[in-house]
Amino acid sequence: MKRPLVVGVMGGANADEQTTMDAYRLGEMIAKKGWVLLNGGRNTGVMAASAKGAADHGGLTVGILPESDTAHASEAILIPICTGMGSARNMINVLSSDVVVACKGGAGTISEIALALKHAKQVITLNFEVANLFKGIRQAGLLHAAQTPEEVVALIEKKIQR
């Protein structure tokens, strides 16, 4: 028996209506292809919507949960995997996926994209402009740019060391 394709669907825990609808439809289409949907497993945002889309259409869903129990798991996740690893579970999400689809999200989704690319996984973004990935992080004052080592040291002294 041939192993089915595992499609990792990553995206924000807080998702707008369009992103949620797209995630649901993506889950539906993954199920209809006979592929496995893998995501972060939680009952919120892209995770819940994509899992529900797949489960509603007979698909197999796997959720890699950050907690050590299933208290926050989506009901649409058929195979919950409790890691107790918090955000470190993003590595499992990526390495266990044959291809990664990134819906709109925040820092967690960005980390999954970066990890997937680092491990030479194919990444497909869905209505998620990659060029602006770090815009929110820059606005929050967490990402800084420097042109010289001196500027780096000055930023460390100004921003980080308090």
Separation in Å, CA 97 to CA 9, 62, 64, 142: 9, 11, 11, 29
Per-residue model confidence (pLDDT) at position 133: 66
Identify whether 86 is part of a domain.
yes
Beta bridge partners of 126: 103
Q: What's the burial of 70, exposed, middle or buried (CB within 10 Å: 0-12/13-18/19+)?
A: middle
pLDDT at 54 over 90: yes
According to DSSP, the β-strands at 36-39 and 6-10 are parallel
Same domain, 25 and 98: yes
Shared-domain flag, residues 81 and 159: no
Average pLDDT, integer, range 22-28: 95
Let me know if residue 1 belongs to a domain: no
Judge if 11 and 88 occupy the same domain: yes
Q: Are 54 and 92 found together in one domain?
A: yes
Answer yes or no: are the C-beta atoms of 84 and 99 closer than 8 Å: no
Which residue type occupies 131?
A
94 and 138 in a single domain? The answer is no
| In a shared domain, residues 87 and 141 | no
State the total domains in the chain. 2
Residues 116 and 142 in one domain: no
CATH number (domain holding residue 22): 3.40.50.450
Beta bridge partners of 61: 37
| Predicted confidence (pLDDT) at residue 139 exceeds the cutoff of 80 | no
Within a domain: 107 = yes
User: Same domain, yes or no, for 60 and 91?
Assistant: yes
Instruction: Please give the Cα distance from 162 to 157 (Å, whole number).
Output: 8
**Are residues 12 and 35 both part of a single domain?**
yes
Tell me the C-alpha distance between 34 and 4, whole Å: 7
Residue 148 is classified by DSSP as S
Q: How confident is the model at residue 137 (pLDDT cuts 50, 70, 90)?
A: low
What is the pLDDT at residue 140? Answer: 75
Whether 86 and 158 map to the same domain: the answer is no
Q: Are residues 74 and 152 in the same domain?
A: no
**What does the alpha-carbon distance between residue 85 and residue 102 come to, in Å, rounded to a whole number?**
21
Which tens digit of pLDDT belongs to each residue from 83-117? Answer: 999 999 999 999 999 999 999 998 899 999 999 99
pLDDT greater than 70 at residue 4: yes
Higher pLDDT, 56 or 138: 56
Q: Which secondary structure element, helix H or strand E, spans residue 103, and what is its range?
A: strand 99-103
Rounded Cα distance, 135 and 148, in Å: 22
Model confidence, pTM: 0.87
Determine the structural domain holding residue 104 and report its residue range.
6-128
Q: Are residues 53 and 16 in the same domain?
A: yes
